Amino acid sequence: MQGKRWVLVMVLVLGAAALAWAAETMSVQVKEGRVYAKPSFLSKLQATLPYGAQLQVEGEQGAWRQVGLSGGLQGWIHVSALTEKQVSLQAGRERAASGASSEEMSLAGKGFNKQVENSYRSSNQGLNYAAVDNMERGYPVTPEQVDKFVQAGGLHVTEGGGQ
């Protein structure tokens, strides 16, 4: 009986070690990494993390990664805000390098990448992307405003989007 308990304890210890080893650590590669309650940009904002913050990935759903936060909270962050590389800030540098350009982040926020936008642009040559970009810059929207919009419109946030 004593031997069976010992084997069971060893299996549990090895299993816990394997889970800890398999957990992926990622770093925030944007100025502000936004962590949401659900895997959706329309979901409630849980936290804003600074550039370089390291996170343990606990799960994934499509382009979203579930991460643990301080205080036992969990949330979801879009993969476009993360990198597998360890990001470190160094004193004396004018500006830390990011893993993604502002243009790439803008496209990712729209659900595009450069190839998708180029393909769409070639099929729809009359569209004025500059006007959309100007509107985004001229009318910034805070997470609080998004929350109010969702509530006022009676929208139901689902994983991956809103209805």
Question: Distance between CA atoms of 70 and 90, rounded to whole angstroms?
Answer: 25
Q: Sketch the domain layout of the chain as residue ranges.
A: 20-86+97-162
Per-residue pLDDT of the chain (163 residues; tens, 9 = 90+): 676 766 665 656 555 544 444 568 888 888 888 999 999 888 888 888 988 888 899 999 998 999 988 778 889 999 888 888 877 665 555 554 555 666 666 666 656 666 777 777 788 787 777 777 777 777 777 878 888 888 888 887 766 554 4
Kindly state the DSSP code that residue 38 receives in the 8-state scheme.
Answer: S
Q: Architecture of domain 20-86+97-162 in CATH?
A: Roll (2.30)
Residue 125 corresponds to which amino acid? Q
Using CB atoms within 10 Å of the CB of residue 98, give its burial: 0 to 12 exposed, 13 to 18 middle, 19+ buried: middle
Question: pTM (2 decimals)?
Answer: 0.51
